[in-house]
Amino acid sequence: MIYLDSLASFPILPEVHDAMCQSLIEDFANPSANHELAEQSQKKIELVRAQIADSLDAFPSEIIFTSGATESNNLILKTHAERALMQGKTPHIITSKIEHKCILAICAYLEFRGCEVTYLTPNELGIVSPDSLKEAIKDNTVLVSLMHVNNELGTINPIRDYGKICFDQGVPFHSDAAQSYLKTPLNVENDFVDALSLSAHKIGGPKGIGIAYLRDLRNQDLQPTIHGAGQEFGMRGGTLATPLIVGFGAAVEAFSSKYEKTPFAKLKEYFTHELKSREIEFAINGEGQTLDSCVSVTLPTVDLDGLLRSTHMRYSLSQSSACSAGSIEPSHVLTTLGFDRAQAAKTLRISFSFDTKKKDLKELLEDISHFREV
């Protein structure tokens, strides 16, 4: 099986597997208990918390462990909105039309709760203009939430520009950075980021663990979305999953150097060059500043449905983001960029892992050529 769906979930790293297997044996104690084995687990958790904080230029006290970016997004958006609602105000949130479905679903819920939401429209490359953000900020804006890297296009948004605008206006800035973390520069200080969401499985770690970064957490009057026994600075109840956190830490330690050493740009260049040489009509979506490890390509003369049905036992591929898979509706990202249903159905998202080789892409290109429509 050739795996070309790493934006959906990156293959687990060997270092992560080994670290988690050891932790499952050693770290069975509840880290909140008062005995030596519990303290052993707690020390490992705090080491990973500090490790993640250091990678972001944050403080460990600003890192909250969650089940993943979806929970982190819920925590961050809902706490900022609820704080204003509890004060009898009408909070205003700014996001974009091509955010992850999770953000859009949360915003729809918050609108139902009485919030006002502005959905910014990106340009034809999938980038939200900083000027459009600046114009959208109002006196009652309580949060701006704009993703760092789009999960379908791989486009890298100028979050430092967004963050600076928000900083100058005194508005908190949140970014879903699940797809960008350790793949492109990210620094919460330099980028003026006040809140951040991450998932371990996007960098070869385990599913079920992520973090929410909240700047200056202890001086904010924010309420948890999951109440419990005071874990995670009172912001996220529940017993911490030590082996998952240890796996997250192992991924953070191993991923960056592997990512930098893998010739993703050459793989991407080879794929597009071969499409041209085979005279296959194509268009690269979000062309510009994108991750080297992925490509969104529209193939108007290829029977993509036939290709995917016939080769599903040989390739792991996505026509859209994994979180939208199974939907009969076309990708909301592509339709926002002006694609009709037929164009969206002809679009493929290919994302590479550390194991992707040129021969894998050559095999895919042969099949794409075979399924060209006459």
Q: Which residues participate in catalysis according to the annotation?
A: 323
Instruction: Residue count of the chain, please give it.
Output: 374
State the burial class of residue 345 (Cβ atoms within 10 Å of its Cβ: 0-12, 13-18, 19+): middle
User: Whole-angstrom Cα distance, residue 101 to residue 88?
Assistant: 28
Alpha carbon 361 to its chain centroid, in Å, reads 25
User: Whole-angstrom Cα distance, residue 123 to residue 158?
Assistant: 13
CB 318 within 8 A of CB 325: yes
Residues in Cβ contact with 65 at an 8 Å cutoff, skipping those fewer than 6 apart: 45, 49, 209, 210, 211, 232, 236, 240, 245
CB 53 within 8 A of CB 65: no
Q: Between the CA of residue 88 and those of 77, 82, 142, 157, 225, what are the distances in Å? A: 17, 10, 13, 34, 19
Q: Between the CA of residue 182 and those of 93, 122, 187, 193, 358, what are the distances in Å? A: 27, 24, 10, 16, 23
Residue whose token pair is 């191993």: 254
CB 24 within 8 A of CB 216: no
User: Whole-angstrom Cα distance, residue 133 to residue 21?
Assistant: 46
User: Whole-angstrom Cα distance, residue 78 to residue 174?
Assistant: 12
User: Whole-angstrom Cα distance, residue 353 to residue 310?
Assistant: 23
CB 61 within 8 A of CB 234: no
